[in-house]
Amino acid sequence: MLTAIIVAAGSSKRVGFDKLFSKLGDRSVLEHALAAFEEAESVSEIIDVCRDPTLVQDAINRAGFRKVQAVVRGGERRQDSVQAGLKELSAKCFRDADAADFSSSVAA
């Protein structure tokens, strides 16, 4: 079992707008990140760490992602957010992924 922890709790200060819900084609950045892991056979569950769990959970529900097992609030720093995701971890192996980093490979 492989768990993906998607860390999407940043403030998007460098970009100047909330990139998480920005559209790339017909999907938001968040939906693209979730879809990559949802479609990966090697990933059995997803943990999403974000700024606003209610808003993200609503987006997950609308899109119908089945592998998302937890949506948790991130911390002030990236390492705090990763730690929040790790606290939800039930698997022994995981893949940490930045929601806005499309250079990450999903293959395990």
CATH at 19: 3.90.550.10
Question: Can you tell me the mean pLDDT for 20-34?
Answer: 89
Answer whether residue 108 shows pLDDT above 50. Answer: no
User: Is 105 domain-assigned?
Assistant: no
User: Is 108 domain-assigned?
Assistant: no
Please name every residue paired with 3 in a beta bridge, in sequence order, or none if there are none: 45, 94
State how many domains the chain has: 1
User: Is 34 domain-assigned?
Assistant: yes
Residues 43-66 have pLDDT tens digits of 999 999 999 999 999 999 999 999
Residue closest to 81 by CA, chosen among 69, 68, 96, 91: 96
More confident residue, 51 or 108: 51
Strand ranges for 1-108 from DSSP E: 2-8, 23-24, 27-28, 45-50, 68-73, 93-98
Instruction: Give the model's pLDDT for residue 34.
Output: 95
Residues 62-101 have pLDDT tens digits of 999 999 999 999 999 999 999 999 999 865 655 666 666 6
Q: What is the pTM of this model?
A: 0.79
51: domain range? 2-98
User: Is 38 domain-assigned?
Assistant: yes
